[in-house]
Amino acid sequence: MLVLRRRAGESFLIGDEIEVEVLAVSQQGAKIGIRAPKETVVLRKELKVTQDENTQAASGPSARDLEQALRKLRP
Amino acid sequence: MPAVETKYFGIVSYAEESAVLFPQGLPAFEEERGFVLIDAPEGAPLVFLQSLARAGLCFLAIPILSIDSSYQLAIAPEDLENLGLNAGSQPGMGTDVSVLALVSVRDGFLASANLMAPLVLNVRTRRGLQAIRRDSRYSHEHPLAPLARAQATKGTRPPETAC
């Protein structure tokens, strides 16, 4: 992973079109501003992780396989 | 009594108080708001979160305290506000809120539970949301093997209120 040290008011570029600026840094965390093309999806990573995990959770066992799946949970 | 077509149990009648509303839906399922919680004796402590709108959509969930009896909530203030709860303090599990972890199935068996983003239900309003933690204290893929140990100590905690 590339590691950069930036202060509030400083920014960096990703490619030609994405700029990430550190707006403020406090005890609560860093406030980040992002300039990117409209079509670029910017998502908190934990939200993306949750979406993926929910999608996985929704494809649970079929009704036929439920009992088998539950059995494997038993001690 | 209303009834719903379910993924696993055919048509099931349910009490109004078993219905829950997620006003914002769940991430990746934003359009799914209404669910009903179904307890299946053969599945305990598993709970089935059946969509009221889509028969084929049924999440499997487990009361989070059944997985980790010392689980600590860290619900963001804005999530607490959306739940209609005091944003200044964490609610009581079992008293103010029910907390469930969604279970993921891999290769046909219940593999992991998402402890990073629990479903939190306000027990008074029956409204809930998926409260994504900001910290990295708990995994979104907590392996389910420890459940066997949690079940062994079942008598020491109140399963009704844990959910």
Asked whether B133 and B116 are in contact (CB, 8 A), the reply is yes
pLDDT more than 90, % of chain B: 74
Chain centroid offset of residue B141 CA = 15
User: Are the C-beta atoms of B76 and B64 separated by less than 8 Å?
Assistant: no
Of B121, B1, B149, the closest CA to residue B61 belongs to B121
Shortest Cα–Cα distance, B109 to chain A (Å):
4
Q: Supply the mean pLDDT for chain B.
A: 87
* Strand residue runs (E) in B40-141: 47-51, 58-63, 97-106, 109-113, 119-122, 127-130
A70–B43 CB contact, under 8 Å: yes
Is A54 in contact with B102 (Cβ distance < 8 A)? yes
B90 alpha carbon, distance to own chain's centre: 17
Look at B57 and A58 and tell me if their CB atoms are within 8 Å. yes
Domains of chain B, each with CATH number or no CATH: 3-153 (2.30.290.10)
What pLDDT, on a 0 to 100 scale, did the predictor assign at position B155?
40
Q: Sorting pLDDT into bands at 50, 70 and 90, what band is B37?
A: very high
ipTM field: 0.83
pLDDT of B157 strictly over 50: no
A24-49 confidence digits (pLDDT tens): 999 988 999 999 999 999 988 999 99
pLDDT band at A63; cut points 50, 70, 90: confident
And the tokens for B33?
Answer: 């708001």
pTM: 0.82
A66: region left, alpha or beta (phi > 0 left; psi from -120 to 50 alpha)? alpha
Dihedral sign for Cα atoms in the order B149, B117, B103, B15: positive
B43-54 per-position pLDDT tens digit: 788 899 999 999
Residues B126, B74 contacting (CB under 8 angstroms): no
Q: What is the mean pLDDT of chain A?
A: 91
CB B49, CB B37: distance < 8 Å? yes
The string of pLDDT tens digits covering residues B91-111 is 999 999 999 999 998 877 778
**Side-chain-side CA neighbours of residue B157 (13 Å):** 20
pLDDT band for A74, please (50, 70, 90 cuts). low
Mean pLDDT of A62-69: 82
Contact B27 A51 (CB under 8 A): yes
To test the contact with chain A by mutation, choose from B8, B30, B51 the residue with the greatest count of A C-beta atoms within 10 A, namely B8
What is the reported pLDDT for A75? 62
* pLDDT tens per residue, range B38-82: 987 777 888 999 999 999 999 999 999 999 999 999 999 999 999
pLDDT class for B159, splitting at 50, 70, 90? very low
Q: What angle do CA B24, B116, A42 make, to 5 degrees?
A: 60
Q: How far is CA B80 from the centre of its chain?
A: 16
Q: Nearest residue on chain A to B134, judged by CA atoms?
A: A46
